[in-house]
Amino acid sequence: MPGKLSLAALCLLAGALTGCADDIIIEKNVAMTTRDGVTLRADVYRPKADGKYPVILERTPYDKGIETFGKRAAAQGYVFIVQDVRGRVASDGEWYPLKHEADDGYDSVEWAAALPYANGKVGMFGFSYPGGTQLMAAMANPPHLVCIMPVAIASNCHEQWVYQGGAFSQLLNQAWSTALAFNTIEKRGGKGTPPANWDTKRPLIDYPILEGAAADVAPYYYDWLKHPDYDDYWKRWVIEEHFNQIQVPILHVGGWYDMFEEGAIRSYLGIRNHGGSEAARKGQRLVMMVGGHAGAGPKIGDIDFGKSVVVDLGELALRWYDYQMKGIDNGMAGEKPVRVFLMGRNVWRDLEDWPPANAKVTRYFLHSGGKANALTGDGALSTTPPATEPADQYVYDPADPVPTHGGPSFGGANSTPGPYDQRTVEARPDVLVYSTPAFAQDTEVIGPVALELYVSSSAVDTDFTGKLIDVAPDGYARNLSEGILRARYRTSREQAELMQPGEIYRVTVDLGSTANVFLAGHKLRVEVSSSNFPRFDRNLNTGADIASPDPRAIKATNVIYHDHEHPSALVLSVAP
């Protein structure tokens, strides 16, 4: 397990949002009281000049003292308030992720709007968890909230954060819980150290959060393990369950290779279609950059995407707030609602919709002679449906899982998110590899990506993973998007259902979304396997509950079918 996760790394805006001015006032630890009597504390940056100004509010668990946007915002005629959320750093109360953010967010917006130097208009701002505090406050619908700008956050904390496809996001959850536990134990007057040389293959429930600290330093981690199903524990906090309560315009910012990539897209589409007011439905914007939690660029992972990929989030934010709260005609009114970075060509593309209306859903069917194992196998992809073909199979051994290699992983020193050459992973016999011939012309894939597979297993439960790859003429295999499905959740995330060994099932593995041009001479590839560790926990193939202390595991022989009756396929949106 990685050591202490830098809280600064969880707020990448610290590097992007710089600027200062002399004509401002900074007030530290300004207190407010919530409806239930808890004191929260904030730092306030505001112009020295007399007058009333619109407010930009950020609510963060990552220590308001590392904020670097306040001076820049105040210099542009805003009151900028950054507040430690309940139970974090200078604020009182209990820290429990998401639990208090809707009510506390409402109270904080209304408090900020009534300050003597505020003009009654409040916008919200923030990256990662502070993006969630915005969306949850918007769910509560405070009267003085005008707009928000959440950057790189999930729309569904169960499906896109703690779990994905039913698998536990082990690397992220363990590292994040440990990182935030330091402050909790310090507030209690205690000490703790990160788990030293933590064996990530031990039962998940054994994870100590901090050595020398009680388990209640982060009770939510253990609660998450007790709630693998999508139940009422999650639904009270999931943005997707409350789109119709949100009534304000939103600028959603996400990133390719960001662990919350789908959150920005799903929130944009969901509120645009189901928001609680016409202003909300018409006021949704989406920007998809590259990086987010994976980095600020221009180089992300192995790839230098060029200077144009770098987004000055501070400038973008100020343009948004100038437009929404000051009514400045700065051109935003005439801009298309969706702006995405198109990889491959490495250019920005402005769109009327996501995915673009001219993108056609296209199936690339899996083919082989039954030996698609590893890069040297005979796996192929084409738009021609299969006829009579033997199935492919591999042995998934939980004792030797496929290692995480780049992608939207995040979790401390051992995490290397972003694009990397996948050929070392593709050398394994438990990874099936299917590729197209080289494209004769540039081929633009832009939109959601999924694997529709016909599968069986010798086990009652196992995982199926997929990874979309862009293969250069020299063989470099760049990962684009990926996903996982725990077979017991193939029908519903709300209720697990074990498999019958040997029975064939049709399953869908969600691989997220992408915007990429496969240049002429490149190939499109998909990998299929059953693990991506330690980004996701290992499926032990026994059907046991993931919170069980039982470490027993068995091997599973997993089969992928691709014939006339079982046309397994990679499903993409291809634009002309």
Q: How far is CA 499 from the centre of its chain?
A: 29
Q: What are phi and psi of 90, to 5 degrees?
A: -90, -5
* 252 has catalytic annotation: no
Token pair 């007058």 in the structure block, residue: 51
* 521 DSSP β-pair partners: none
Catalytic residue, from 128, 177, 368, 568: name it.
Answer: 128
Alpha-carbon distance of 267 to 132, in angstroms, equals 11
Alpha-carbon distance of 191 to 200, in angstroms, equals 23
* 91 has catalytic annotation: no
Alpha-carbon distance of 534 to 531, in angstroms, equals 9
Alpha-carbon distance of 364 to 342, in angstroms, equals 21
Contacts of 341 (CB under 8 A, 6+ apart): 256, 288, 289, 290, 305, 309, 347, 348, 349, 515
Catalytic residue, from 104, 229, 258, 392: name it.
Answer: 258
Token pair 């801009």 in the structure block, residue: 335
Instruction: Report yes or no: 377 and 371 within 8 Å, Cβ to Cβ.
Output: yes
Q: What is the DSSP string of 430-450?
A: TSEEEEPPPPSS-EEEEEEEE
Contacts of 564 (CB under 8 A, 6+ apart): 385, 386, 387, 388
Element (H, E) at 563: strand 556-563
Q: Is 291 helix (H, G, I), strand (E, B) or coil?
A: coil
Name residue 173's amino acid: N
* 258 has catalytic annotation: yes
Catalytic residue, from 293, 405, 522, 566: name it.
Answer: 293
Q: Which residues are tagged catalytic?
A: 128, 258, 293
